Amino acid sequence: MRHSLTAFLSFFVVGLAIVALEAFFLAARFDQFQSQVLRNSELTLSLMQREAALQRFKLKKEAFESKTALLLSGYNPEPLTVGPETFGDLFSMGVQISPQEVSANKGAKVWTYKLSSSAIEYHRLMPAISALENQYPLGRFIEIDLKTKRPPFALTPGPIEFTGIFSTLRGRQ
């Protein structure tokens, strides 16, 4: 092979390789730059939306806090402590309240409380039962049994036999 042809081919191949590699590297950097620009614009938009949402959230924070506290009332990993704060007038009026599950029972998905009384009149008992239901939106009376202790059509109100089972959903840890 002629020397000139060899030199031409060598220079051509090496020159082309150099230019191609540089162009490839530059193209890759350009792609990276473009994707960074795109990422930045997407991030700007998402940040604006998230910041606006956070602002709106901050404005309603207190309302959200009070609402969630009300709606998730009784949704605890531990059963309610029996007392006037948790069982209101029912406790104050002397209704017997006993939790059916102990807190150590990890398998329990609901907390159940048995309520009973035989010394309270219907007109005093029902508002207290109703208040308990309203206090715990996730609670339900599974059973209510009301029985008069006196013959029907009594002219004065008398105490009634009451038993009830109230359940609330158990909160996760």
Partner 1 sequence: MVSYGLFTSRKERNRQRYRSDKFYRGTFTVILMVIVAQAFLAAAASALLTAEKRIDPETRTLELRLTRLESEEEQYGALLRKLKTVASLKPLIENRIPATKLVSNIEEAFLANEQVGLVELKLSNHFDLNDPNSKDDFTILITGAIKATSLIPTVILTDFTKTLGEKLPQAANVEISRNAVVQGADAFAPFEVRIHYTGP
- Burial call 64-101: b when 16+ CB within 10 Å, e when fewer: eeeeeeeeebbbbeebbebeeebbbbbbeeebebeeeb
Q: Which residues bind partner 1 (CB under 8 A)?
A: 2, 4-5, 7-8, 11-12, 15, 18-19, 22-23, 26, 29-30, 33, 36-37, 40, 43-44, 47, 50-51, 54, 57, 61, 64-65, 67-68, 71-72, 75, 109-110, 126, 129-130, 133-134, 137-138, 140-148, 151-153, 167, 169
Nearer to partner 1, 61 or 124 (CB): 61
Nearer to partner 1, 20 or 84 (CB): 20
Task: Report d(CA 150, CA 60) in Å as an integer.
Answer: 53
Q: Which residues pair with 96 in a beta bridge?
A: 116
φ and ψ at 39, to 5 degrees?
A: -60, -45
Nearer to partner 1, 91 or 132 (CB): 132
Min CB(53)–partner 1 separation in Å: 9
